[in-house]
């Protein structure tokens, strides 16, 4: 399972021209679910993301996590993160989880995030939708975190 996190001062998701989610300061997470992922990976990656220290402390060093910063989390399912890009000039998707498995694990990830961070601080995209994601990357600060067999 892969999570591309970006520290943002704001981020939003629109579907069909209508904004469905938005946050201020916090993390935008693009979440990719791979074929061999299970509930264990969803919980492990969620805990890793929420505890990852990429917000500045009083001295300006990246030493504070999203939980302690008071920031929010916008979770966007991102099928293309599971792409195999090791050869050629076109991505392959044989490593991606099937849509039903990916949706279940995405929902489990969201539930875990809401239980740890608080439902009021977690927003989501829409699984399987054509989404337009807007963000202001703060820094810029971007990290790819992985758990399971893909790392």
Active site residues: 78-80
- Residue 88 gets the label, from left (phi > 0), alpha (psi -120 to 50) or beta, of left
Task: Return the axis-axis angle of helices 99-117 and 39-51, rounded to nearest 10°.
Answer: 40
Partners of residue 76 on adjacent β-strands: 30
**146/22 Cα distance (integer angstroms):** 25
């Amino acid at each position: 399972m892969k999570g591309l996190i970006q520290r943002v001062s704001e981020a939003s998701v629109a579907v069909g021209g209508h904004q469905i989610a938005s946050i201020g300061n916090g993390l935008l997470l693009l979440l990719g679910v791979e074929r061999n992922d299970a509930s264990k990976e969803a919980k492990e990656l969620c805990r890793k993301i929420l505890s990852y220290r990429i917000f500045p402390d009083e001295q300006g060093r990246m030493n504070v996590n999203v939980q302690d910063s008071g920031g929010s989390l916008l979770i966007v399912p991102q099928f293309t993160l599971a792409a195999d890009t090791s050869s050629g000039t076109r991505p392959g998707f044989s490593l991606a989880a099937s849509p039903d498995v990916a949706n279940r694990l995405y929902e489990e990830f969201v539930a875990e995030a809401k239980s740890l961070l608080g439902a009021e601080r977690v927003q989501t995209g829409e699984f399987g939708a054509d989404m337009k994601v807007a963000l202001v990357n703060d820094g810029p600060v971007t990290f790819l975190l992985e758990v399971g067999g893909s790392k």
